[in-house]
Amino acid sequence: MTSLGEFTILLALVVAVFGFLAPILGARRGHQALLSSARNSQKVLAGLLTISVIVLVYAFLTDDFSIEYVASYSSRTTPFFYKITAFWAGQKGSLLLWVWLLSVFGYLTVWQNRHKNQQIMPYVQVVINGTCVFFLTLMVLVTPVFEKLVFPAADGQGLNPLLQNPGMVFHPTTLYLGFVGFTIPFSFALAALITGKLDDDWLISIRRWTIFSWFFLLVGNLLGAQWAYVELGWGGFWAWDPVENASFMPWLTGTAFLHSVMIQEKRGMLKVWNMALIILTFFLTIFGTFITRSGIVSSVHSFGVTTLGPYFFGFMGLTLFVSIYFLFIRLPLLKSKQELDGILSRESSFLLNNLLLVGIAFAVFWGTIFPFISEAVRGVKITVGPPFFNQVIAPLGLGLILVTGICPLISWRRATAKNLLINFSYPFAGAIAASVLFLALGMRNGYGIISFSLSVFVVTTILLEFLRGASARHRLTGESYLTSLFNLTRRNKRRYGGYIIHFGVILMVLGITGVMNFKVEKEASLRQGQTLTFNQYTVRYGGLTSWKEPHRDVVAATLNIYNGGKRVATLKPEKAFHKGQDQPTTEVAILSTFKEDFYAILAGWDDQGTAQFKFLINPLVIWLWIGGGVITLGAIMVMWPDRRRRIKEARK
Amino acid sequence: MNPRTKFIAGGILIAAAVVYLIYSGTSSTMVYYLTTSEVMERIPTIYNQRIRLNGKVEPGSLNWNGRSTQVEFNLTDEKNKIRVVYQGVVPDGLRTIGVVIAEGRLLPAGYFQADNLLIQCPSKYESEKVELVQDNIRVSQ
């Protein structure tokens, strides 16, 4: 079986090389048969890699410990479920996942465009297959996933208990869907540059791919945040770890791209900027894969897998060089059709949005690589921790929220005073009223007040848009308000789906603002039966219980939580000792409400049964996850295929 | 002023704001990130300065019963070692992963008083995990 796996990967490399070269030759010489077999090769590539994926899954499920990768990440006692997720627990499997997804996306793209974009499609394939060649070369030369042990291990080393969490199924996979997905918009952009066919067709063809990748990158990050929150047991969900930053940066530039392409579609402007953004986004996805998978940035000297470094640097350099070269020679073709008119206009609010997003991305980049800059310049590593990111990004983020409210409503070209008054008097009044209310309620946290008030501003603009649209439609068609609202959103999925996504983002902002500005924590040592008062909560510690499970021993504390004299919950924070490790795994207990989370950590105990705890009250956290759900709804709406367009296409 | 100039001026203004934020953020939050040897070289100026000390937990030096909030161990870079003392919630993976960043101060008494221990995302330390099977690998290429 394993030789089948090795063989399919080797063959996939050959096919990818063919898929890289054939379209170039075919397109240059107008050789139709060659182009058509290049298209077919995309199917073959996806098929081959699917086989190798199946072989690896099979090896995990059948405990084939003759394979080094399987022996390193699985064991006989690893639960069935985690034998599958162990697939991407390490670098070798992750690279296979990456290239497999790309091959499937490549096939889908070719299939989607079988009647469209015939001029640029060969070069789209060139870019996709070029990327595949890179990853497959790595897998053949540096990280052979099917590598065998000389002496098969009797049992594997098992999966790290921290990775044994349901979140680990979806967090890496969704992130990779996002990372890999951005290859498709990039390949269209580069193909358009190479062929010089720079009208807006390619932009329209990649709309759904862009929102798809953007969405999965966001969901991947959110799931990672949630995993950290419930599993890592330090009470937070985001630590500005280089690995987190790596997946945040392409999301930021991707968000900028998602918005600025609208300017190009509507007004024919910002063409060079858009190209630069998608090139940058792709570059950052490769950079992100590199960081997450090589451990170079956070590595403490010798722990990175240094062999990967040169390959990744080479590929990133080549990508940048080729992209910038073609961008440069096509500059004359990328002239704007229009000029910018007024500074108070939708165009400029989009520009502001873009500058802020790219600014935030740059700040994150700076904070991530600062240790290396300082080491190169001053010979000593200096880091900037979470305070740097919070300090720099909070004001930029607030600006971004404001723009979220302004952007969709302000007029194109030049806003008149009348337009501003009509669109913004209610939201503005709402925001002012909100901040007065917060002040009156005794809130004195500047960032908190501004952030919440801006959120009110944005939500009011979104509500107004739905109301105005629905009532206009009601007047026009005589449908009831509700039907109008429904039809309105159905007919303008992209626009109203976008508003729903904005609404979800604001909900996330609430959660982030709550935790950043209003979190409180308390550490305490409690005797059995002792109570502790923490804000409006009273905690009564009822003692420790312990029990044995097949693969772990658990110690849990019983905590009765009272809120205003009424018992609201029993929390049982635990420490679990996994077999073969004397290192415990902390399992926190959380009482989650719409208002706040009560978060309990069992830190330790002594022989008399006195236990040490850490408690946190994290306000509004739940809205972060709910916001993610709302964004999912909006994104599905935006991506949903248009019935009318399909019919039109069929008629053609 | 024509619109183009206004836009360029606006763009420069925003870029300048971003640069200023990054500059002030950097200078107010930077912390030395040192290995144990680098810390030893800087004695005595390093005493009582807030730093991030990184290294590996020296095998056998970890003094912790797995359930108390007091922990002591030596951090090492294979050349020099420093005693680290910490009280608080001990992060998971201290023993198994053993690659630690300790935030705190080196005291003139000769030990490092940490108020925060960081252990990084476990998926990254795979090169550590395969030790057992390392010399057992078939050389196939």
> pLDDT (tens digit, 9 = 90+) per residue, A261-273?
998 988 888 899 9
Contact A241 B121 (CB under 8 A): yes
pLDDT bracket for residue B111 (50, 70, 90): very high
Contact A295 B14 (CB under 8 A): no
Q: Which residues in chain A have their CB less than 8 angstroms from residue B141's CB? A: 140-141, 144
Three-state SS at A222: helix
Nearest to B38 among A380, A577, A582 (CB): A380
Is the pLDDT reported for residue B133 higher than 70? no
Q: Which of residues 39-78 of A touch B (CB under 8 A)?
A: 68, 71-72
Q: CA dist A410 to A347, A349, A431, A461, B7, Å? A: 9, 8, 17, 11, 17
Residue with tokens 């670098």: A91
- Interchain contact A380–B (C-beta under 8 A): yes
- Interchain contact A299–B (C-beta under 8 A): yes
Q: Which residues in chain A have their CB less than 8 angstroms from residue B54's CB? A: 300
Contact B133 A303 (CB under 8 A): no
- Interchain contact B13–A (C-beta under 8 A): no
- Interchain contact A233–B (C-beta under 8 A): yes
Phi, psi angle pair for A298, to nearest 5°? -90, -5
- Interchain contact A388–B (C-beta under 8 A): yes
Contact B130 A68 (CB under 8 A): yes
What pLDDT shows up at residue A295?
56
Question: Does residue A332 have a cis bond before it (omega within 30 degrees)?
Answer: no
CA–CA min distance B109, chain A (Å): 25
Contact B136 A151 (CB under 8 A): yes
Note whether A147 and A65 are within 8 A (CB).
no
Angle between the A167-181 and A183-195 helix axes, to the nearest 10 degrees? 10
Contact B89 A388 (CB under 8 A): no
Mean residue pLDDT of chain A comes to 89
CA–CA dist A427, A411 (Å, integer):
16
Three-state SS at B118: strand
Nearest residue of B to residue A612 by CA position? B69
Could you tell me the sign of the dihedral formed by the alpha carbons of A451, A457, A459, A462, in that order?
Answer: negative
pLDDT tens profile B30-87: 999 898 999 999 888 899 999 999 888 888 888 888 788 889 999 998 899 999 999 9
Contact B127 A243 (CB under 8 A): no
pLDDT bracket for residue A646 (50, 70, 90): low
* The token pair that represents B97 in the structure block: 């992963």
Q: Radius of gyration (Cα) for chain B, nearest Å?
A: 22
Q: Which of residues 75-94 of B touch A (CB under 8 A)?
A: 77, 88-94
Label residue A417 left, alpha or beta by phi (over 0 means left) and psi (-120 to 50 means alpha).
Answer: alpha
| Side chain identity at residue A500, one-letter code | I
- Interchain contact B126–A (C-beta under 8 A): yes
Closest alpha carbon to A581 in A79, A231, A162:
A162
What is the ipTM metric for this complex?
A: 0.84
Is the pLDDT reported for residue A338 higher than 70? yes
pLDDT tens profile A206-224: 989 999 999 999 999 999 8
CA–CA min distance A373, chain B (Å): 12
CA–CA min distance B105, chain A (Å): 15
Note whether A282 and A186 are within 8 A (CB).
yes
Label residue B93 left, alpha or beta by phi (over 0 means left) and psi (-120 to 50 means alpha).
Answer: left
- Interchain contact B109–A (C-beta under 8 A): no
pLDDT tens profile A568-584: 999 999 998 877 666 78
Rounded to the nearest 10 degrees, how much is the dihedral formed by the CA atoms of A108, A113, A114, A116?
180
